[in-house]
Structure 1
Amino acid sequence: MTSRPEALRELEREVGVMMRRVRRVIAERAHAVHPELQSSSYLMLGYLLDQGPLRASALCAVFDVDKGAISRQVQHLVDLGLVDRTRDPADGRATLISVSEEGARRIHDVVEPRRKWYDERLGDWTADEILDFAATLSRYNEALGG
């Protein structure tokens, strides 16, 4: 029987492998979306695409990054033509950040082939097994604080 410390070491090892792989994939996807897109900005771009227009303050909270860093990333995305800024109709003093049509097209062009790649690699996994794994990852993420 495996001891808890041994199991935790194995978990750390596998999470480390996953993190290295995820960092590489995010860098590759960012470059595929735009050659000058930074990995951290790619994650923000994807979040904006999923969540819709948001204020910079919401991005600060989600990514646990200070307002200055978010402002620089947003400006980088604006400069690349991947996001738009518009006035918040609820508060004319505030600005909403949303993915531009060009940004959405570029992300879609990158994400769809990657999903097909996942589908091929996980071809012997059932949909239920994939959902079970996703649920386990969700539980893991929740246990570590979200």
Structure 2
Amino acid sequence: MTRADSLAELEREVGVLIRRVKRVIGERARSVHESLQPSSYLLLTHLAEQGPSRSSVFVDAFAIDKGAISRQVQHLVDLGLVERTPDPADGRAMLISVTADGLDRLQSVAHERRRLLDERLGGWTEADLETLVSSLARYNRDLEDDRVPA
């Protein structure tokens, strides 16, 4: 196989992965809460990983406008998954944080997700998994520059 063939195959496989990820994100969102939108699920998981943040952090992290972030945050507040509290560093600003219920739901979904993943990849050795993780991390680092298509 030539390098050009390998790059074309990589594009196809990444396309399959993207379609699968989009489907799985929708399933995970519904597992956390039947009314949770997939885009809000991504914001919720980011918030759970990063800790309390201002909405402006999400604008930068997700490259979407303030209005869309505001609507997603409100959606999460309405579902009881996040809460707003005054920022101790600047009382005019608000911090968004995951509620205890939101964290419990995310952890439950993550536990089940990893159990299913372990089941589906049962034939993979530890070395196989480490190689995949290492290769994906390198791929993501090398494509960090947004000018390069995923």
Same fold per superposition (TM over 0.5): yes
Aligned AA (2:97): S
Do residues 14 (structure 1) and 17 (structure 2) align? no
Shift, 1:127, TM fit: 3.0
Match of 2:49 in 1: 50
Match of 1:41 in 2: 40
The 2-side partners of 1:7 and 1:116 are apart by 32
- SS for the counterpart of 1:13 is helix
Match of 2:23 in 1: 24
Aligned AA (1:51): Q
- RMSD over equivalenced CA pairs, Å: 1.2
TM-score, L = length of structure 1: 0.94
Q: What is the CA deviation profile of residues 56-114 of structure 1, one whole-angstrom value per residue up to 9, with x for unaligned ones? A: 11111111111111111001100111001111111111111111111111112211111
Match of 1:123 in 2: 122
1:1-146 to structure 2, matched below 5 A, reads 2-145=1-144
Aligned AA (2:98): V
- SS for the counterpart of 1:35 is coil
The 2-side partners of 1:76 and 1:127 are apart by 40
The 2-side partners of 1:126 and 1:94 are apart by 48
Percent identity over paired residues: 57
The 2-side partners of 1:95 and 1:145 are apart by 30
Q: How many residues align?
A: 145
Give structure 1 stretches of 5+ with no counterpart: none
- SS for the counterpart of 1:123 is coil
Shift, 1:144, TM fit: 1.8
Give structure 2 stretches of 5+ with no counterpart: 146-150
Q: What is the CA deviation profile of residues 103-140 of structure 1, one whole-angstrom value per residue up to 9, with x for unaligned ones? A: 11111221111100111112232334323211211211
Aligned AA (1:33): V
Stretch deviating more after TM superposition (34-43 or 125-134): 125-134
TM-score, L = length of structure 2: 0.91
Q: What is the CA deviation profile of residues 11-33 of structure 1, one whole-angstrom value per residue up to 9, with x for unaligned ones? A: 01111111111111100010111
The 2-side partners of 1:53 and 1:35 are apart by 24
